[in-house]
């Protein structure tokens, strides 16, 4: 196929909406996309992201109560790759309940997803999707990331960066990631590694101020390296220290093994086993 400098647009949409006591609904039909790159930016409000229908790239529903919000929605296809950008901005909301968004994404097209939220509450359910890469950034927020079913493909990289927030991750093993990077600024964070985690998965976790709880299934072997000598085996149940690293007692017998690198400022980090 010849490479053209101009873009071939199979479907394009650019919308600016002024929401005030209004509802929004948009469906983007699927054509011949072989890959998706999706960016979702939310200034404030409540957001629900979940798997959608196979014949739709996205189904977006929203409602706004008090306040005004401008929405930009842009979608186009180039070289069989669909590019979707959804953004809310300039909102004047008293609380996150004033505005709610429900975003459903096609579940069987390999997708690179980037999500960024400001003062928001978010529930992101990505189980049984085809997520290739994932990046989540939050400001002053409360968020939950879930993989109730295994990812349909191996995820190359999963990044989570939080500011002042509460962030909970359920069944992270089902993401089937090769590399996971977590950076917690200040707040309370809970990471559950249950699910079909890949052997030799690599995790890098950092915490500024707050509490980070890491839950590992008992059938997984783990090696923990730290950036400081301040950690002791007492911080990690059923680990022993060897050559500067902490090794789980089940490591040699475990069928799957993971590597964790942990660094912390003034935060508290605990590693717990789950059955």
Task: For the chain of 275 residues, list the mean pLDDT of each consecutive stretch of 10.
Answer: 37 48 87 98 94 97 74 95 91 62 98 95 98 96 97 98 94 98 95 97 94 96 82 71 93 97 86 93
d(CA 84, CA 70): 17
| pLDDT for position 116 | 97
Exposed / middle / buried, residue 3 (Cβ in 10 Å: 0-12, 13-18, 19+)? exposed
> Which residue, 17, 185, 217, is CA-closest to 101?
17
Please give the Cα distance from 182 to 188 (Å, whole number). Answer: 13
Q: Would you give the distance in Å from CA 181 to the centre of its chain?
A: 11
Distance CA 110, CA 81 (A): 10
Residues 136, 126, 64, 18: is their CA dihedral positive or negative?
Answer: positive
pLDDT at 97: 61
Per-domain residue ranges of the chain = 13-200+211-216
């Amino acid at each position: 196929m010849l490479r053209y400098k101009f873009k071939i647009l199979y479907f394009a949409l650019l919308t600016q909406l002024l929401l005030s006591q209004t509802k929004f609904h948009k469906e983007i039909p699927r054509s011949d996309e072989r890959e998706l790159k999706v960016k979702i930016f939310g200034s404030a409000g409540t957001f629900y992201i979940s798997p959608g229908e196979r014949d739709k790239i996205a189904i977006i529903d929203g409602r706004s109560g008090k306040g005004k919000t401008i929405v930009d929605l842009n979608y186009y296809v180039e070289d069989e790759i669909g590019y979707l950008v959804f953004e809310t901005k300039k909102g004047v909301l008293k609380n996150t309940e004033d505005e709610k968004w429900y975003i459903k994404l096609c579940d069987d097209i390999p997708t690179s997803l980037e999500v960024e939220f400001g003062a928001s509450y978010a529930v992101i359910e990505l189980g049984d999707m085809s997520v290739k890469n994932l990046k989540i950034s939050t400001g002053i927020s409360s968020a939950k990331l879930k993989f109730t079913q295994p990812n349909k493909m191996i995820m190359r990289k999963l990044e989570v960066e939080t500011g002042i927030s509460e962030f909970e991750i359920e069944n992270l093993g089902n993401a089937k990631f090769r590399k996971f990077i977590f950076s917690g600024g200040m707040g309370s964070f809970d990471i559950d590694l249950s699910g079909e985690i890949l052997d030799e998965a690599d995790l890098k976790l950092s915490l500024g101020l707050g509490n980070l709880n890491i839950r590992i299934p008992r059938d997984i072997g783990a090696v923990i390296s730290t950036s400081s000598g301040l950690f002791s085996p007492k911080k990690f149940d059923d680990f022993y220290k060897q050559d500067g690293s902490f090794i789980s007692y089940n490591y040699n017998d475990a069928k799957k093994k993971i590597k964790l690198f942990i660094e912390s400022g003034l935060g508290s980090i605990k590693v717990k086993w789950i059955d």
